[in-house]
Amino acid sequence: MIPFFPIEIEKRQIDNKVTAYILATYNLSALIGSFFTDSVIGKLGRRYSVLLGMLSEGTGYILFGVNGYINHKPTYIALAITARFIQGFGGSVVSATMYSIVLNFYLVNKTRALTMIESAMCVGVLLGPALGSVLFMIGGFQFMIFSFGTFLLMCAALV
């Protein structure tokens, strides 16, 4: 998303500072969400916490895709920030829950299990831009965003 989002913003003649704020909202939300993840896991359990996180991330992507149909700048910016906030919260919940699962269920070889999580994240960082580029070439920004959102929602259904 990140390589292509500035192109979308430029088409709408929105200031680059706003782009930075929108993109940074994900990390801000993940930081805020990390303070609540313990209580989320405690109330929902690990399985439903992962489900909540994946639904949040998928919904955030879908909202971001819907945002492409909005031409009113303030509404576009507000929805983009909201979508990124939802994505960040979901990412925070999924990440923390995965670490919680590893630390509680892989008692013998925690280091190996943690390494596998980190490796999986690296594979995602490597493949995400390549897959995103292919999807962008096929159908543009919104197609790419809707595809990732739909994929996350489908994965959530498997949890």
Task: Kindly report, residue by residue over 111-143, the tens digit of the pLDDT.
Answer: 888 888 889 889 988 998 899 999 999 999 999
CA 16 to chain centre: 21
d(CA 19, CA 109): 42
pLDDT in tens, 79-101: 999 999 999 999 999 999 988 88
Mean pLDDT of 45-74: 94
Domain ranges of the chain: 5-158
Which CATH code of 1.20.1250.20, 3.90.226.30, 1.10.10.10, 1.10.150.80 fits the domain covering 5-158?
1.20.1250.20
d(CA 33, CA 117): 20
